[in-house]
Amino acid sequence: MEKQYYFIPKLIVILFIYTSMSIEITYNEHRPSVIREAIQTITLSPKIFINTKTFQKKYITIHPKINNTLTLKDLKICKQYWGKNYTFNIKMLSNAHPELANKILTDPMYQKFGVACLIPAFRDILEKQTYWEITSIQGSRGEIKLFKHKDISYYFKPFQDCIEKKVLKKINQLKISPSVIVWGNYLVEKGVQGENISSMARDKKLLPAQVGEIVGTTLGELFKRGIIYLDKSFPGNIHLSHIFIEKNSGKVKIIDFGNIIINDRNLSNEENKTISNTISSIFSIPKNEAEKLSFYDVAEKNKNAVLFELKIFYSSSSIDEQFITIKNTKEFIAARAAYEKAYQAAITDHKKISSLKYEIQKSHPKLPRVKPITISNALHIKISI
């Protein structure tokens, strides 16, 4: 027959006795503990019986005389047990390192944030704030975890492919993207405090020529460094939604390098295969055709795709079930011409992305407002000239 222990919430000290182990829990408002947090998850009546064996099994397993502080060495050991889809093999860890597994399970941050807190640099960031709003976003690479505190945000996500992982160091050296923490097959990317150029263009905060300069400079500089920042076929809007203007500095920042290819003679078979698959997916062409395209060919296809996308963006649009109709007005014709001229010039001007700077200002009153385009079961694009 199992022993049961009487518990009154107002007790200051509770003594659990199970076999030969005793644990003393001090219930102190100013010094919260893991055990106290676990107890608080139970809805207590004025009088309740708690079975220690059931409590330990369901909520937490305690081993006495273990320091619960996770060190950098601990987190490096844990790195070996990460899996896909944010999984962590605690069972394998407990077989090899039982004390470390117990430290993980009893770690308040692990209970709150999961595997995200096992990334050393990100753990330090999470500890600085008492509250984080965590949401899941579905993207092309699968689920992305968004951690947000007021206007501070971080995107915790797996690498899209081996090419993104390979090129990230080079991207960081350019200082054109937010800070990125890399840990195994995952990364944590800091969100940009500012607006993307898509919303700025729609709200008339950027002129068409400025948008053309930003996008053209981005493609031009990356191409010179052996990188093609691919855009999906319409209505992808990757370059519009992934390029930001920082609120305070006015600098141009680029996020998410999941759709890129690189010019490198020392690529592995896996990397070459990944590039071919990406080209095939982006441009909707067979894989055998994608393999024949040169780096320059892909750059030209991408440049034309982006130009076409922005021509549609700078047009008034109406949508029915099967057609997107592009109507021309003098204002939008002028906007497209200004954009295209700046875009073509910027690609060959040899400017650096880091040299661009813009103010997030009020709307330009004379610029026609661009309506966001959404598509529902669209089969064709019809352009009226």
Domain ranges of the chain: 5-58, 72-131, 194-383
Is residue 90 within 8 Å of residue 81, measured between CB atoms? yes
The reported pLDDT for the residue numbered 328 is 72
**Residue 233: per-residue pLDDT:** 53
Do residues 65 and 24 make contact, with C-beta atoms less than 8 angstroms apart?
Answer: no
- Over range 14-25, report the average pLDDT: 36
179-199 burial by CB neighbour count: b if 16+ within 10 A, else e?
A: ebbbbeebbbbbbbebbbbbe
Residue 184 identity: G
Closest among 126, 144, 147 to 136, alpha carbons compared: 144
Is the preceding peptide bond at 368 cis, omega within 30 degrees of 0?
no
Of residues 276, 233, 385, 369, the one with CA closest to residue 314 = 369
What's the rounded Cα separation, in Å, for the pair 123 and 117?
Answer: 5
Q: Where are the beta strands (DSSP E) in the chain?
A: 5-7, 13-18, 21-26, 48-50, 133-139, 142-149, 152-158, 180-183, 186-190, 194-196, 227-229, 243-246, 252-254, 260-262, 316-319, 323-327, 380-383
Backbone angles phi, psi at 104, to 5 degrees: -65, -50
pLDDT at 127: 93
Percentage of the chain exceeding pLDDT 90: 39
Token couple for 248: 């305070």
CB-based contact 134:146 (threshold 8 Å):
yes
Eight-state DSSP code of residue 140:
T
The confidence band for 380, taking pLDDT boundaries of 50, 70 and 90, is very low
Give pLDDT tens digits for 292-309: 999 999 999 988 888 887
Query: Between residues 224 and 378, which one has the greater pLDDT?
Result: 224
How long a stretch of residues is the chain? 385
Indicate the Cα dihedral angle 329, 332, 338, 341, nearest 10°: -80
SS3 state at 344: helix
State the sign of the Cα–Cα–Cα–Cα dihedral 368, 371, 372, 377: negative
Is pLDDT at 221 greater than 70 in this prediction?
A: yes
Exposure b/e, 369-380, CB count within 10 A at least 16 = b: ebeebeeeebee
- d(Cα 237, Cα 98) in Å, to the nearest integer? 49
